[in-house]
Structure 1
Amino acid sequence: MKQGGLVDDTEDVELDFSTEEEEQRALRGAKIRHPLASFLHLFFRVAAIVTYLLCDWFTKSFTSCFIMIITLLSCDFWSVKNVTGRLLVGLRWWNQIDEDGRSLWVFEDRKSSPQAGGTEVEARIFWSGLIICPLIWTGFFFTTLFCLNIHWLVLVVASISLQVANLYGYLRCKNGRQEAPPTSTSSFLQGQHFLQRPDIISRML
C-alpha cells in the first residue's frame, strides 16, 4: 500500500460571523417589518374611538352604536393579544388549563431571537397605541360620568375593560412576571394603577 500517494484535500474554511451580525443590525434598523400588523394594531381601537365620537351623526340608536364599538374593540382585543403583540414586540400572554383543571395564566417575553419582535419603530407604535387609547377612554369615562349618561357610561366601562386587559397583560410580560393575574375587578383597578404610573409609561415609550 502506497501511503505516500494519498493527497490531503482538506481545506481551511473561515467562518464569517459578520454576515449574521449585519443581518441582525439590518433587522433592528428596518423601519417597519410588519406593516399589516402595525396597521391592525391601531385600526380597530382608533376606529372605535372615532365611532364613539361620531356615532350620533350616523344613527340615533344607542344599541347600534354599542354593537359597533364593542365589535371593533373585540376585534382589537383578539388581534392585539394574538397577533400584533407577538410580531411587533415579541410578547404574548394566554390562559391554559392544567391537569387539575386549574386556570393558569402565562406571560412570555421572547428576547432570545432577533426575529422574535419588531423594530424600534414598531415597538413605539405598539406601546403608544396600547397606552394612549385607554387614556382616551378614561377621559370619556369622566365626561359621561359628569353628564350622568348611564347608557354611555356602561359602554365606556366595557371599552376600558377590554383595553386595560391587554395593557395589563403586556405590562406583565414586559416585567417578566409569571404570577396568576387577579380577578376581572381587580384587573381593572390594576390597569388604572399602571396608567397612573408615569415612570412605567415613559419607559415603554
Structure 2
Amino acid sequence: MKQVGLVDDTEDVELDFGNEEEARALRRAWIPHPLASFLHLFFRVAAIVTYLVCDWFSKSFTSCFVMIITLLSCDFWSVKNVTGRVLVGLRWWNQINEDGRSLWLFEARKMSTQGRGTEVEAQIFWFGLIICPIIWTGFFFTTLFSLKIHWLVLVLAGISLQLANLYGYLRCKAGGQEVPPTSASSFLQGQNILQRPDIIYGVL
C-alpha cells in the first residue's frame, strides 16, 4: 500500500458529538455508553456461542450457517461504524474519490477531545476486538483436525470479518505510522484482489 496523504496533527479538526457539559457528565460515569459497550460484545459473543451449540438444536448446516453469518455481519457493522467511534474515538472506512481511486481512511480523535469513552470502555473494546479472532482461530484448527470441512468456510468467514476490524483499528491506533502489511493482505495484493488503494490518515 502507498501512503499519499497525512493530515497535519496541528489542525484542530473535531466532530461534534454534543455540548461540553454532556461530555463531562459522560466521562464521570464508569461506563458512559452502556449500549455501545453491550453491542460491542453481544454479536461477537452470540456468534461464538451459536457456533458451539448450534449442532445441539439443529442438524441443518444451512440454518446454522445463515444464523452465524448474520450475527458476524451485524458485529462487523456495529464495531466498524458505531462502537469504535464511541468507545475509543477511532474510525476507518473506504471511499472512492472523484478520479475513481479507492482511498482507505484511518482516523483517531485527539486525546483532548471531550465525549470519548472511559478507560474501562477502552479495555472492553480492545479485549473484545483481540480475543474473539483468537477464539475463531482456535475453531479453525479444531474444525480442521475433526475433518468437518463444510464448517471451514464458516470459520474462515468469522476469522476474516473479525480480523478486518482488528486490522483497521490497529491502523487507526498507529496514528499515521506505516504498519507492516499482514501476510493475508500481502497475499491478496499479490493476487490482485486488492487494487492497492491509497491510504490517508486523519484526525477526528
Give the AA of the match of 2:174: N
Q: Which runs of 5+ in 1 are unaligned?
A: 1-20, 190-205
Q: Is the 8 A contact 1:80 1:166 kept in 2?
A: yes
Distance 1:116 1:184, change over 3 A: farther
User: How far did 1:26 drift?
Assistant: 6.4
- TM-score, normalised to structure 2's length? 0.75
User: How far did 1:99 drift?
Assistant: 1.2
Report the structure, 1 or 2, having the larger strand content: 2
Q: How does 1:165-204 map to 2 (within 5 A)?
A: 165-177=164-176, 185-186=184-185
Report the structure, 1 or 2, having the larger helix content: 1
Distance 1:175 1:89, change over 3 A: same
Q: Is the 8 A contact 1:105 1:181 kept in 2?
A: no
Match of 1:73 in 2: 72
Distance 1:80 1:184, change over 3 A: farther
Structure with max Cα Rg? 1
- TM-score, normalised to structure 1's length? 0.74
Q: Which runs of 5+ in 2 are unaligned?
A: 1-19, 189-204
Match of 2:116 in 1: 117
Q: Is the 8 A contact 1:55 1:65 kept in 2?
A: yes
Work out the percentage of aligned pairs sharing the same amino acid: 84
Q: How does 1:109-148 map to 2 (within 5 A)?
A: 109-148=108-147
Give the AA of the match of 1:129: G
C-alpha separation in 2, matches of 1:131 and 1:112: 22
Instruction: Give the RMSD, CA atoms, in angstroms.
Output: 2.7
Choose between structure 1 and 2 for higher RCO, CA contacts under 8 A separated by at least 6 residues.
Answer: 2
